[in-house]
Amino acid sequence: MVGRKALRTATPLASARRIVVKVGSALLVEGDSGRLNRTWLKALLADLLRLRRRGQQVLLVSSGAVALGRRPLDLTPGPLRLPESQAAAAVGQIRLAHAYKELLEEAGVTVAQVLLTLEDSEQRTRYLNARATLEALLKVGALPVINENDTVATAELRYGDNDRLAARVAQMTSADCLVLLSDVEGLFTADPNRDPKACFVERVLQITPEIEAMAGRASSTHGSGGMATKIAAARFALSAGCHMCIASGHPRHPLRRIESGARCTWFIPASTPLAARKQWIAGTLRPAGALHIDAGALRALRSGKSLLPAGVTRTLGRFDSGDTVSVIAPDGAEVARGIAAYSDDDAARILGRQSSEIESLLGFRGPDELIHRDDLVILPHERGPALPETAAPAVPDQSGPALSGAV
């Protein structure tokens, strides 16, 4: 579905709570000299700091490691073999991180480097761990600067482009806005360099085969991404309830320009990150286990509260923290589904107890809730018991959520 009218309301960038901005190598690194374009970067960081001053949380996904590592290693322009690009990334990433630290420290902002691999986003425990780290960084006000861990990513197991990595980070952190800054202005119906009838697309509500076809026809000169990876990123973002924007990063202060209505393509999701996450939880086909709750906890859940250990009477099945579990009412009906914050073993040790006792019971300080209300979906009344009393617990799905799924 495509609309070509300009957005009349304030951009989603202005109203977002949490924003992921991705910058491509072609913006950060000067083509001729292979050096970092500090002037451009300073202007971008000024934009990011402006968002932060407005109370918005910002994560930056920055490319540029490979491009910055070429010159010191005397690597000629053109495609690199994998070990060469990994070597270049090792040299370039340290330079990139240094520049971010220097420029952001001047502004009194603590920068945190996070290097992720595909496995970190696809393997459940690593995914949860990465998500918790990013949450912790945002909570203390640090600015996470994220890139793929190119030096260790293998040919088969790598993103290879930061468009999809950025979308995954947006999903992982329940961001409500993702901005992909690169050398393209947005999506065209055809390659504008070749087809005079090509039209600019300002708004996309759904990734249809028509949109996919437009991505196939578009051309982008730099970076690993191109339009196809941007559309793949949009697919992830929309499924996670996250707005996404493709915009040119070339002009100074690109984010400010987007807010003042500069031409760009917006992808508009049908739901919010929280709703998308809840839909994903509700749709889990095989919850890994179950928590039986008492009548008081049932009332609390129905009034929108979290599930505390005090209201749980027993656990069923084997599950890890981060697995989806059923919540079973005293009458045996499945009343809710949610993501357990503790494994079945730990849950069994804290059930019926006050949250203040968790640390002394388990020996570590975890969340107060067994299932946080944001991770909990109350099911419609008619849904029957999910797990028979004697059911063998379903084998927990060890993979992370599917790339196309919302989390």
Which chain residues interact with ligand GLU by CB under 6 A? 25, 63-67, 89, 147-148, 150, 161-162, 223-225
Nearer to ligand GLU, 147 or 324 (CB): 147
Rounded to a whole number of angstroms, the minimum distance from the CB of residue 234 to ligand GLU is: 15
Q: What is d(CA 237, CA 171) in angstroms, rounded to the nearest whole number? A: 7
Nearer to ligand GLU, 116 or 308 (CB): 116
Nearer to ligand GLU, 64 or 241 (CB): 64
Nearest to 181 by CA among 304, 315, 291, 40: 40
Rounded to a whole number of angstroms, the minimum distance from the CB of residue 25 to ligand GLU is: 5
Q: What are the φ/ψ torsions at residue 63 (nearest 5 degrees)?
A: -85, -170
- CB-CB contact of 247 with 186 (8 Å): yes
Nearer to ligand GLU, 60 or 89 (CB): 89
Rounded to a whole number of angstroms, the minimum distance from the CB of residue 55 to ligand GLU is: 29
Rounded to a whole number of angstroms, the minimum distance from the CB of residue 190 to ligand GLU is: 24
Nearest to 218 by CA among 182, 252, 179, 254: 182
Q: What share of the chain is helix, strand, coil (3-state, %, to 5)?
A: 40, 20, 45
Contacts of 158 (CB under 8 A, 6+ apart): 117, 118, 148, 150
Residue corresponding to tokens 């420029």? 103
Nearer to ligand GLU, 63 or 343 (CB): 63
Q: DSSP label at 49?
A: H
- Tell me the CB-side half-sphere exposure of residue 154, using CA atoms within 13 A: 3
Rounded to a whole number of angstroms, the minimum distance from the CB of residue 87 to ligand GLU is: 12
Nearer to ligand GLU, 229 or 326 (CB): 229
Rounded to a whole number of angstroms, the minimum distance from the CB of residue 227 to ligand GLU is: 13
Rounded to a whole number of angstroms, the minimum distance from the CB of residue 244 to ligand GLU is: 15
Tokens, residue 181: 């800054």
Nearer to ligand GLU, 25 or 248 (CB): 25
Rounded to a whole number of angstroms, the minimum distance from the CB of residue 136 to ligand GLU is: 23
Other Cβ atoms within 10 Å of 368 Cβ, number: 14
Q: What is d(CA 284, CA 158) in angstroms, rounded to the nearest whole number? A: 27
In this structure, are strands 265-267 and 203-204 parallel, antiparallel, or unpaired? Answer: parallel
Nearer to ligand GLU, 65 or 340 (CB): 65
Beta bridge partners of 337: 326, 377
Rounded to a whole number of angstroms, the minimum distance from the CB of residue 89 to ligand GLU is: 6
Rounded to a whole number of angstroms, the minimum distance from the CB of residue 111 to ligand GLU is: 16
**Farthest-apart Cα atoms in the chain, separation:** 71
Rounded to a whole number of angstroms, the minimum distance from the CB of residue 268 to ligand GLU is: 24
Nearer to ligand GLU, 150 or 346 (CB): 150
Nearer to ligand GLU, 159 or 188 (CB): 159
Q: What is d(CA 275, CA 392) in angstroms, rounded to the nearest whole number? A: 30
Nearer to ligand GLU, 148 or 344 (CB): 148
The DSSP result for 92-123, as a single string, is HHHHHHHHHHHHHHHTT--EEEEEE-HHHHHB
Q: What is d(CA 235, CA 215) in angstroms, rounded to the nearest whole number? A: 12
Q: What is d(CA 192, CA 13) in angstroms, rounded to the nearest whole number? A: 27
Tokens, residue 246: 């493709």
